[in-house]
Structure 1
């Protein structure tokens, strides 16, 4: 029997230009759970675009706050939702100067235009708050994580929180592509810069909510279950 996984993400409001841009770029609306028409960036191959976005499409448009986890023994989805509502009410929105299309190695994502210590703190507060709901990593998941090169600090985070990129290793990003061939990263980034500028008004962005996503089994896509406005 497959065990669902949950994740705490930042996902923009479903009626916002940012959510619509991200969903159309990936071809998937995690709010409805439905495929949607791709908005292929200018100059990119329409036939190849679904393949370039296949990996992030599994997760929906988001920024990770608490990485996917199975529920700890004695915990259930209803308790998780109630706790998320409670935690969100005690947190404050974080204003950002804006989001910029950035190449992070071989994939392209939206990242904060300027560093934010408040955002780093918010993310780590959420990681720590939800720890009682996280089951320990399975042997297979642990092996998969350890297959990537990790610093001693990353390994310590992995052991403590089930994910290596938290705390000072956290980098807020909203993934727009999967891993790309090195020779096309610059071209696709430039195309996404233009597409983002056309679809999303320039200016400040507020990280003003957190969303609970669920994946029914490892072969399924993540879907947005609920969204909680911070401070409400």
Structure 2
């Protein structure tokens, strides 16, 4: 989507077998309920809408209620991601994606008006699958960078994130000056590298046709130029890519 909405919440590893329909876990009746435990705050898309926001994704509490003029009902079940979440107490949970109903409400808050489009329930199902696939793809790209620090930290976790759809990165602006299109979205992710915060910039470009895995975006993922270590990582990767392309082209010529 041109102005995508990203949303996660938290769930412990044991909850992955049975994804919660609401944040952060199934609500039980008083007869079923175990002794109360501290509940993680729910999360939605990374846009600030007031003072009662979650500091980890700058979102208000999850809203699973249908909008007053909503043309059809939407599912409220949520998919658990593969992305580990860094918790303040050091424990690990997994971020949880928004339901279709949460996504609908989030888009309304951002100014979208469904009456201007011929939208159907199937469209919302596709939107959620695209959104989730984009985030899973982004995390895999982050892990490629984090592999440079595998000895230092073998279990990086996503701490927080925010959307900056119209705040184009310097790299995206420079590419645009060269004639390339601007990204349709941008996220900044803060990764907890075993106690060290590392900021990643993710630019999302239109990749054309949607494939059978609901992926269509081309992702440009890299550490931000805000630390000497990040600058060094990007220099190393640039060199490795250049060396690989150079050796690959020579080997191809020799094999001909």
Tell me whether the two structures share a fold, i.e. TM-score over 0.5.
Answer: no
Higher RCO (CA-CA < 8 Å; seq separation 6+) = 1
The structure with more helix, counted as a fraction of residues: 1
What's the TM-score once normalised by structure 1's chain length?
Answer: 0.25
Say which one has the larger Rg.
2
What's the TM-score once normalised by structure 2's chain length?
Answer: 0.24
